[in-house]
Amino acid sequence: MSNMPSIDQKIECLKQEIRLIKRGKHAEHYRPHKLVMLLSVIEMIERGLITENKIYLSDKLIEIFENIFYLVKRKDDLCQPGPPFFHLRTSGFWYHKIRSEKVEDYSKLTTTGGGLRLIDEYIEYVYFRQDVYELLQDPKARRELRLFISELLNSQEGE
């Protein structure tokens, strides 16, 4: 008998981490950006567009982000993929591969100002913590996580 967690246990742990992601809030409305970014990346993995643990802020990622975002946004939400790509670094499972010449300056960054320029300048790509990336390779896990994130977006649950 193995002490290794089952796939269901791993999914539940990741759901808890996602539930705890700090999200912006306006009045009683939690901003959808970080959850939409996660859904966008899951969609790219599902389509076979991400085949290694490297997520680039590509035109395709932005297109998928925008398509999902416009389905869930509230009237005052701005479609900005840059901030969640940057700020998901606080999640504990989303990491930036910093451009080698920018490591020292990156440590001083607290925001991207809403745009993509600083991301392009400082961040080569994003990668998941290894256990999360491995979990996202499983179709059942992706399906369950998509449903969970969609429910979070609909319920407005958040920190």
Average pLDDT rounded to a whole number, residues 11-23 = 95
CA pair distance 47, 62, nearest whole angstrom: 15
Residues 29 and 133: their CA atoms lie apart, in Å, by 30
pTM beyond cutoff 0.95? no
Average pLDDT, the chain: 92
Q: For residues 54 and 136, give the distance between their C-alpha atoms in angstroms, rounded to a whole number.
A: 13
pLDDT of 22: 93
Q: Would you list the domain boundaries of the chain?
A: 29-154
Question: pLDDT tens across 106-138, in order?
Answer: 988 888 877 789 999 999 999 999 999 999 999
- Split at pLDDT 50, 70, 90, the class of 3 is confident
Does 1.10.150 match the CATH number of domain 29-154? no
